[in-house]
């Protein structure tokens, strides 16, 4: 089997001192009903900022400003598939979320809500990269 590397982009979207988290739909094939940040895969030939803005628009209908790359990490999702994850700080122009069918819920969350709802590996990345300073 051939090894595959996927590049994914995630957005820590800030509005009014809260960060947007979204919940995957209950019938999602990967991590159903879990909470995450907005984002998705880089398509071949796409610029990073273009891909991130496209994913944000598709998933939550927001226009954002991309401020900076916060951190990058990589991990294997299975034996022959590795994910490279780039996480960016973004600011939203409004809080009016229009959720895609890929997700069932959203929340403009504070730190305690994120600590309660996000998976431990995400929290570890947030701690390690001092993301809490943005809220």
State residue 134's pLDDT score. Answer: 82
Q: Residues 11-23: pLDDT tens digits?
A: 999 999 999 999 9
pLDDT of residue 77: 86
Q: 86 pLDDT exceeds 80? A: yes
pTM, entire model:
0.93
User: What was the pLDDT predicted at 30?
Assistant: 77
Confidence band, pLDDT 50/70/90 cuts, at residue 54 = very high
Say whether pLDDT at 67 is over 80.
yes
Band (24; pLDDT cuts 50, 70, 90): very high
What's the mean pLDDT in 114-133?
A: 93
Rounded to a whole number of angstroms, the distance between the first and last alpha carbons of the chain is 44
Rounded to an integer, the average pLDDT of 29-57 is: 95
Question: What class, spelled out in words, does domain 4-134 have in CATH?
Answer: alpha beta
Candidates 84, 49, 50; CA nearest to 69 is 49
Residues 6+ apart with CB under 8 A from 89: 12, 14, 66, 67, 68, 70, 134
What confidence score (pLDDT) does residue 29 get?
82
User: How does DSSP assign 88-109, residue by residue?
Assistant: EEEEES-------TTEEEEEEE
């Amino acid at each position: 089997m051939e090894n595959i590397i996927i590049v994914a982009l995630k957005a820590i979207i800030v509005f009014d001192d809260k960060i947007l988290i979204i919940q995957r739909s209950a019938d999602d094939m990967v991590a159903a009903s879990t909470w995450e940040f907005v984002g998705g895969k880089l398509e071949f030939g796409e610029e990073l900022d273009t891909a991130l803005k496209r994913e944000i628009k598709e998933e939550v209908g927001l226009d954002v400003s991309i401020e900076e790359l916060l951190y990058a990490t990589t991990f294997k999702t299975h034996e022959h598939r590795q994910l490279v994850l780039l996480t960016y700080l973004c600011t939203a122009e409004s809080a009016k979320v229009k959720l895609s069918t890929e997700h069932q819920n959203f929340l403009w969350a504070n730190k305690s809500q994120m600590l309660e709802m996000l998976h431990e590996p995400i929290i570890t990345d947030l701690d390690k990269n001092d993301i809490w300073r943005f809220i």
